[in-house]
Amino acid sequence: LRLCSKAPHSATREANLAALAASRQRLLQADGEDLGQEDELADELRAFCARHALWPHGTETLVLRHFRVGGRGLAAAADLSAGDTVLAVPESLLLSSERLSSYDGLAAALSAAAGDSLHDDVRLSLALLLEIARDQAGAWAEYCRFLPERPPSALHWASRQLQRLAHTPLVGRVTAAREALREAHAALFPALSLALPQLFPPASFSWRRFLWAYTVVQTRGLVVGGGAEPRARRTVLAPVADLLNYSPTSPLAWPSLEAA
């Protein structure tokens, strides 16, 4: 709202402000509850959760729905009580940048291509693409159908869309972030594909795929762990859990979950 208020007066600005105000109003109204529509992939997600034991005690707790604001998300499958555990993601399905160390020769190849300066989010993006490319029948390749083709990140905006926010700090930040990501990709590829052709087939690690994976991390990564030790914190991708309010436009009037 603050960024939008600072934009120059225009029809777009007024429309954006009205949409944001309406969204805020819905959060404040008790009768503004959006129960969403059935999602076409609801059965597939149910099967995924059952197959990978994501529901505690085998009881169905969540259902995939399509919400008017925020799109695809998770709803309670039945009345749930405070304290109920609704989702448990096993360690084998969690993806963090540490997964990269399980590939022989990758640490050396990464270091040769990009030094030790790679951001953890870039490393996690690589881990995601590797996981999908490595095992076509694996859980992450299977889970891809629930991930958006175009995650809601400003990095995907066309310059025409960015220009609507001209005169805000956002334009410079988005441009710089895209440029830094392009440089990271250019440092890694084709170097990694030449060094480890079996692991990095070029088609699976194009700029387009790389940007997609990075924006998945950006919009769906969860920062977990660490406790009192910030250096022990890490970003993980957790299937199904990432559907809990992934969208920046989702209503937040129901703050009901914590990660433990």
Partner 1 sequence: TLALTFRLLSAVPAGRQLCLYY
Point out which residues bind partner 1 (CB under 8 A): 33-36, 56, 62, 65, 67, 70, 73-91, 94, 96, 222, 224-225, 236, 238, 241, 244-245, 250-252, 254-260
The least distance separating partner 1 from the CB of residue 51, rounded to whole angstroms, comes to 17
The least distance separating partner 1 from the CB of residue 28, rounded to whole angstroms, comes to 16
| CA geometry: angle 246, 252, 254, nearest 5 deg | 115
What is the distance of C-alpha 52 from the center of its chain? 20
Determine the angle formed by the axes of helices 169-188 and 207-220, rounding to 10 degrees. 130
Beta carbon nearer to partner 1, 55 or 205: 55
CB 229, CB 140: distance < 8 Å: no
Beta carbon nearer to partner 1, 152 or 225: 225
The least distance separating partner 1 from the CB of residue 238, rounded to whole angstroms, comes to 5
Beta carbon nearer to partner 1, 209 or 245: 245
Other beta carbons within 10 Å of 78: 10
d(CA 117, CA 256): 37
The least distance separating partner 1 from the CB of residue 97, rounded to whole angstroms, comes to 13
Beta carbon nearer to partner 1, 61 or 125: 61
Q: Partners of 64 in the beta sheet? A: 74
